Structure 1
Amino acid sequence: MSADRKPFRVLFICMGNICRSPAAEIVFRRMVDEAELSHAIHIDSAGTIGYHAGKGPDPRMAATLKSRGYTIAGKSRQVHPDDLDDFDLLLVADQENLADLHRLDGTGSRRSKIRLLVEFCQDREASHVPDPYYGGQKGFEDVVDLVEDACEGLLLHVRKAHL
């Protein structure tokens, strides 16, 4: 990457920014670090609502990620209209999040960079990343499995198309 080139910026988005989007941020950050691309890719996450602002990931999601060797970090924040301009790719967990981001992009001028995270899955087929909040432990495991698959495909995409 040339010195004048800015890092490619990726924002993961779910509803509360305590389960799915922080999981994606944490998983992708480790993949990017292991690929020695942290200088070239900036990663963040946000929620469509601000209810959990300032809180860390849900303890059940944190425990699931820790059990797989991930380092838990980050605080919840609400997505901001400026994020639509500041990030190169905004990846949402489900159709409701997609609709929320499309509403935030009133002009529709940034829709091409708002996509479903599952579009990058390589091995799993899913229409969305399900919200595990009201379910049991299996839901958290399933989300991390899906996120890991999607983040692997995402890293391949970013390397090929943007770096």
Structure 2
Amino acid sequence: MSAYRICFVCTGNICRSPSAEVILRARAHDAGLDVVVDSAGTDGYHVGDGADYRALRAMKAAGYDGTAHVARQFDEGWFAERDLVVALDRGHFRLLHAMAPDEEAAAKIRLMRSFDIDAEDLDENDPHIDVADPYYGPDSAFTEMVEQLEAASDGLVEFLAERTEHPA
């Protein structure tokens, strides 16, 4: 069986999605799961940039290294190459659904916090289901982002561990 393939998607691919990528990769590795994790943005204005220094600092404080990240833009052709496409907020969720070429692709899209045990009962229209964008906020917003991503990653690891088979 090949590795389960996951792509995290936010706006510019410099804060939330690269942080989610790094955190899930580490958590999945610790759980012994065979996954391939990457990330991208819905917009291309940061393509080629590294992760935001504040995201790097918050990740480092939590024990993760995001320094190898290079931002990219999501391509609709990637739906066929991924088993799961994880949106970091409802706006990305809607944009990804609009990009999905068919129902099979659309079925692969999930909201990140839907995996968080403390947020799983939230409706997809509830703003608390979003991983809030820390970009224009204080440094503490980046710490909160990492905490939200860790909680959701724990649930995502459980989700992945329960899957003995996945789409080829």
TM-score relative to the length of structure 1: 0.91
Identity %: 36
- Asked if 2 retains the 8 angstrom alpha-carbon contact of 1:102 and 1:108, the reply is no
1:149 equivalent to 2:137? Answer no
1:14 equivalent to 2:24? Answer no
More deviation in 99-108 or 139-148?
A: 99-108
Aligned length: 157
2 CA distance for matches of 1:45 and 1:101? 13
- Which residues in structure 2 correspond to 1:5-154 (within 5 Å)? 5-37=1-33, 40-72=34-66, 73-124=68-119, 126-154=128-156
- 1:76 deviates by 0.6
- 1:110 deviates by 1.5
- Asked if 2 retains the 8 angstrom alpha-carbon contact of 1:89 and 1:115, the reply is yes
Taking structure 1 as reference, are residues 162 and 96 closer, same or farther at Cα in structure 2, changes over 3 Å only?
farther
Taking structure 1 as reference, are residues 55 and 108 closer, same or farther at Cα in structure 2, changes over 3 Å only?
same
- 1:162 deviates by 4.1
Gaps of 5+ in 2: 123-127
2 CA distance for matches of 1:8 and 1:162? 10
- Corresponding residue SS for 2:104: coil
2 CA distance for matches of 1:118 and 1:36? 22
TM-score relative to the length of structure 2: 0.88
- Asked if 2 retains the 8 angstrom alpha-carbon contact of 1:12 and 1:46, the reply is yes
2 CA distance for matches of 1:35 and 1:105? 31
Taking structure 1 as reference, are residues 89 and 128 closer, same or farther at Cα in structure 2, changes over 3 Å only?
same
